[in-house]
Structure 1
Amino acid sequence: MKTPGGMLLTGIELDRASPMPLYRQLYLQVRKQILSGRLAGGTRLPSTRTLCKELGLSRITLLNAFDQLTAEGFLVSRTGAGTYVGDEWEGRAANTGIERQPPRLSSLSQAVHSLRSEHFSGVSYSAWDPDCPTSFLPSHPAYDAFPMAAWKRLMNRHLRKPGKEQLGYGELKGLRRLREAIVDYVLDARGIECTPEQVVITSGAQQAFNLLGMLLLNPGDAVWMEDPGHIAARIAFQALGCRLVPLRIDEQGLDVQQGLRECPEARLAFSTPSRQHPLGTTMSYARRQELIDWAGRSQGWIVEDDCDSEFRYVGRTLPALYALDGGQRVIYVGTFSKVLYPSLRLGYVILPEALVEPFCAIRAVMDRSPSTLHQATTADFMQDGHFLGHIRRMRSLYQARQARLFEALQRELGGFLCVAPAEAGLHMIGWLPEGCDDDALARDLAGQRVYTYALRDYCMHHYLPPGLLLGFAATPEELAGLRAEEFARALRALGWKL
């Protein structure tokens, strides 16, 4: 359509209350209309006098916007004829109503996208009502009991006089002082003898699983996985194209004999022997030795995620698989996410000597080490004696919190949930009535502002009764009764009879 007086530009809307200058608003909106095809190449714009009147702008404001658009090639001024959209935009039609095609992704990206889980989308804490944060999410420590004063004091040591150690790229394996502190700790707590050269700092356990998968596995390789088991590790290996072999958990832990029957040629076994995640079983000594013997015979690898080993409330923890392994087939993964706090994003891998160099080569391509400032603060926290004291305090605190919440749940929900105290870790399992859909129930409870995870999420084969993971570490003792009441109230609102 010919427009001798120029287009009306009715789509231009200027916000005079905005801190953005008016000329900038006009520039952005005209530019957007040209890029979207709404203003095609060769289109004549109204005269500056007309536009000033219609938009209520000064001439200098208008000229500033048009000068910028002309300099960038969006507009062209023709002497005696007016201002036009540049000819190079000719034929650029608006894409309104045109169905957009999905982006072309790599096979790895498509695999990760299809396997994504709500567990990795993060929790929107802003959606929680501050007066009613009823969270039974597992793996959340007691944020209210973290020794923030000591932590801030240690961090300020490095902030007052930051040097290259804090501000530079850092060592590929991670800060040596932190690796030395980890060596001392795992020898004392887990019976592991290693050197700082065998320790590599990672951004939490999840990064460790991804890097180890890239290091050791090819598409199609078989991996023994606990079932139910660790979601993060499962998705990491599955996204690499590996074939997962789900092995059941019995009273002694991972069923190694099932693995030998179904897939003796597996390349790797993933295990949480100290406290099986999520069921809480401790792998027996005999079963540990079976697993190590398999790895030695088959030249396979064992990834030991020492999940929640710091927080055991009954008996003593057996030595780590790594400590029992004389053949150097076990890789140990630890994290500070639960013993300190998750957003710290610090974990570590203890590698057999033969794997150190190839692991670091992959690490160099994929990432640098985490924040040196946080590594230095964590090293000080450990070397100054705060770390072990914190673990002891949290162990006592979590045991008391679990006992109080258990009593409250028994009182309020004893006829609906069958709950047993956990011997270790940060969550109990509440077994549901047969036939209940735990996944649907967890979603419905979230709608009532009660947050938990379904056991089904952790399973590849659904042979267990339905259940919910009930975190207790973040619930203060004095609030346990109230939280149990809110849980019961939410279930009644959903139509359940308690």
Structure 2
Amino acid sequence: MQALVDKKQPHSESFTPFLQQSTTQRPRYRALFNYIQQRILSGELPAESRLPSSRELAELLSLSRNTVKQVYEMLQAEGYIETRHGDGSYVSPQLSLNQPTEQNSPAADTKAVRLSAMNEQLEQIRPLYHQHPQQLLLPAIAALDQFPWQQWQRSVSYAGKQMKFSSGRNFMGEPALRSQIAAYLNATRGIRCDMQQVMICSGSQQGMQLAFSMLLDPGDKVLVEDPGFPGIDGAISNVGGIKVSVPIDRQGFRTDAALSDQQDARLAFITPSRNFPLGFTLSLERRLQLLKWAREQGCCIIEDDYDSEFRFDGPPLTALQGLDGEHCVIYSGTFSRILHPSMRLAYLVLPPALVEPFNRMRGFMDGGLSSLPQLALADFMARGLFTSHLRRMRKLYKTRRSYLLLRIAETFSQQLIWEPSDGGMHGVFLLPPGSDDKAIAEQAMNEGLGIRPLSYYYDKQPPRSGLVIGFAGYNEAQIDSGLARLKPIIEHHIPT
């Protein structure tokens, strides 16, 4: 590339393009520094090129001489230029090796970054849907407009004052929050634990990643439900685990299919209170069979209890961990679905023997979480606001589910058949056999709907065709609007 500046005589006019640059977002000295820096790196100002004097450049660019001097001092401090006594400033000769030539352009000289084998593995996994807040009928979206913001802000303010008493170095999480979670789980879910067993995580996905890292070696098998939550696939693959898909029926995870042929599995990941997405509950007989298997084989069960709080037809079920499973069950819960998705707080309840190993691993993994949101949530729970909010949302979501079921029955007749469930934040509606639920969902997405195809959640088992429709975060008018957009799509694919 031909130099724009003579190496012997400075040509300040070559700097005039700087005058056409927009510098409203940056101080003038910083803008000029970046301009000269980039010209040097690109080779427009080659090594040993002489720069204009500070006075000359200042006059040309209508800047103060002090501004140009400051820029030259910054360039010299970072090694771009050097000052020669009595002869002005020059581009550093050491930069000649890094500047491009016609045969050695930046594009040709730059090799692609090599990714690990993990990238290839993740490319083979079902991609996750991206949620857009403006979409209607998204599953797993809470009623965000009902969140008690004023009370929460009071808790945040209180937490800010309490931070001075927190070291922020407890890898398991803030003791105040862990104590509140343990008390809540003991009272509502029958879980046997104390606060020492509770670990706070940045979302349930982080908790799963930590647990799999601690419990699995490459090649170890993990029993999972089919259909089930696809987000777990990446966490298993990330540690080299092998997913073993186990079919479910109306009594939940089929232990007869899982335990007879997979005795060498190291871990089971299940949703016993409510399978995602179908909502089936694991029967007591199968719960006891699974616990017996884990104790006898020295294996672990991860109990994902993602929205057990929203059971509409009866009191909450006793957690699997509470059925004599405190030594082999890791209980996982989250606040993101209950309170607000941006809160990013979840927790694990660990068997006593795993507390110290997990605590040690956490110290190397991320060093723990920010204290402020943890202390705020601890105060929110201590003042009874968490449980009162849950009661209100449980009642609201039940009402919204009833409205959705009524409107779908009126609008879609036999085109959509509800798959009964005792709670949750979404409903599953089966389509006639042979229907293309993915095509329907894709078209619905183009119409601003967040409806998911049921077949997406299946892995090895023959998929059923249906739609997963969220209702928790939407009032009656929004539900009506969403179903009105869905109606012509359904009629196009499934004529009455």
Q: Go from structure 1 to structure 2 and tell me whether the alpha carbon gap of 1:162 and 1:287 turns closer, same or farther (over 3 Å shift).
A: closer
CA distance in 1, matches of 2:113, 2:437: 34
Task: Please give the TM-score of this superposition, normalised by the length of structure 1.
Answer: 0.87
CA distance in 1, matches of 2:44, 2:404: 61
CA distance in 2, matches of 1:379, 1:24: 45
For residues 117-170 of structure 1, what are the alpha-carbon distances to aligned partners after superposition, in whole Å with 9 as ceiling and x for unaligned? Answer: 434x6x454xxxxxxx342221111111112222222333333x334335x315
Equivalences for 1:55-134 in 2 at 5 Å?
A: 55=61, 61-77=67-83, 83-91=89-97, 92-93=99-100, 95-98=105-108, 100-108=110-118, 111-112=121-122, 115=125, 117-119=127-129, 123=131, 125=133, 133-134=134-135
The Cα shift of 1:317 comes to 3.8
Alignment RMSD (CA, Å):
3.0
Q: Which runs of 5+ in 2 are unaligned?
A: none
CA distance in 2, matches of 1:326, 1:17: 64
- Which residue of structure 2 lines up, in the alignment, with residue 130 of structure 1? none
- Which residue of structure 2 lines up, in the alignment, with residue 379 of structure 1? 378
Decide whether the 8 Å contact of 2:222 with 2:244 is kept in 1.
yes
Q: Go from structure 1 to structure 2 and tell me whether the alpha carbon gap of 1:53 and 1:482 turns closer, same or farther (over 3 Å shift).
A: same
- Partner amino acid for 1:188? A
Decide whether the 8 Å contact of 1:115 with 1:239 is kept in 2.
no
- Which residue of structure 1 lines up, in the alignment, with residue 292 of structure 2? 293
Q: Which runs of 5+ in 1 are unaligned?
A: 126-132
Decide whether the 8 Å contact of 1:170 with 1:372 is kept in 2.
no
- Which residue of structure 2 lines up, in the alignment, with residue 42 of structure 1? 48
Decide whether the 8 Å contact of 2:247 with 2:461 is kept in 1.
no
The Cα shift of 1:440 comes to 4.7
- Partner amino acid for 1:93? P
- Partner amino acid for 2:472? A
- Partner amino acid for 2:454? L
Q: Go from structure 1 to structure 2 and tell me whether the alpha carbon gap of 1:34 and 1:440 turns closer, same or farther (over 3 Å shift).
A: farther
The Cα shift of 1:97 comes to 4.3
- Which residue of structure 2 lines up, in the alignment, with residue 144 of structure 1? 145
CA distance in 2, matches of 1:22, 1:475: 50
Equivalences for 1:278-289 in 2 at 5 Å?
A: 278-289=277-288
Q: Go from structure 1 to structure 2 and tell me whether the alpha carbon gap of 1:63 and 1:381 turns closer, same or farther (over 3 Å shift).
A: closer
2:205 alignment partner, SS class: helix
Q: Go from structure 1 to structure 2 and tell me whether the alpha carbon gap of 1:328 and 1:413 turns closer, same or farther (over 3 Å shift).
A: same
1:204 and 2:211 are equivalent in the alignment: no
Equivalences for 1:438-457 in 2 at 5 Å?
A: 438-457=437-456
Range 299-308 or range 257-266, more displaced = 257-266
- Partner amino acid for 2:141? H
Range 45-54 or range 296-305, more displaced = 45-54
The Cα shift of 1:287 comes to 1.2
CA distance in 2, matches of 1:150, 1:319: 30
Equivalences for 1:151-162 in 2 at 5 Å?
A: 151-159=152-160, 161-162=161-162
Equivalences for 1:209-288 in 2 at 5 Å?
A: 209-288=208-287
- Partner amino acid for 2:334? T
CA distance in 1, matches of 2:434, 2:43: 56
Q: How many residues align?
A: 486
- Partner amino acid for 2:108? I
CA distance in 2, matches of 1:18, 1:404: 53
- Partner amino acid for 2:329? V
- Which residue of structure 2 lines up, in the alignment, with residue 336 of structure 1? 335
1:294 alignment partner, SS class: helix
Decide whether the 8 Å contact of 1:169 with 1:368 is kept in 2.
no
Task: Please give the TM-score of this superposition, normalised by the length of structure 2.
Answer: 0.87
Q: Go from structure 1 to structure 2 and tell me whether the alpha carbon gap of 1:450 and 1:101 turns closer, same or farther (over 3 Å shift).
A: farther
CA distance in 2, matches of 1:327, 1:76: 69
Decide whether the 8 Å contact of 1:400 with 1:477 is kept in 2.
no
For residues 209-265 of structure 1, what are the alpha-carbon distances to aligned partners after superposition, in whole Å with 9 as ceiling and x for unaligned? Answer: 111111111010011011111223232112110011000111111111212343221
Range 452-461 or range 201-210, more displaced = 452-461
Decide whether the 8 Å contact of 2:137 with 2:479 is kept in 1.
no
Equivalences for 1:410-449 in 2 at 5 Å?
A: 410-414=409-413, 416-420=415-419, 422-449=421-448
Aligned residues: percent identity? 36
- Which residue of structure 2 lines up, in the alignment, with residue 405 of structure 1? 404
1:140 alignment partner, SS class: coil
Decide whether the 8 Å contact of 2:454 with 2:468 is kept in 1.
yes
- Partner amino acid for 1:101? K
1:398 alignment partner, SS class: helix
CA distance in 2, matches of 1:158, 1:417: 48
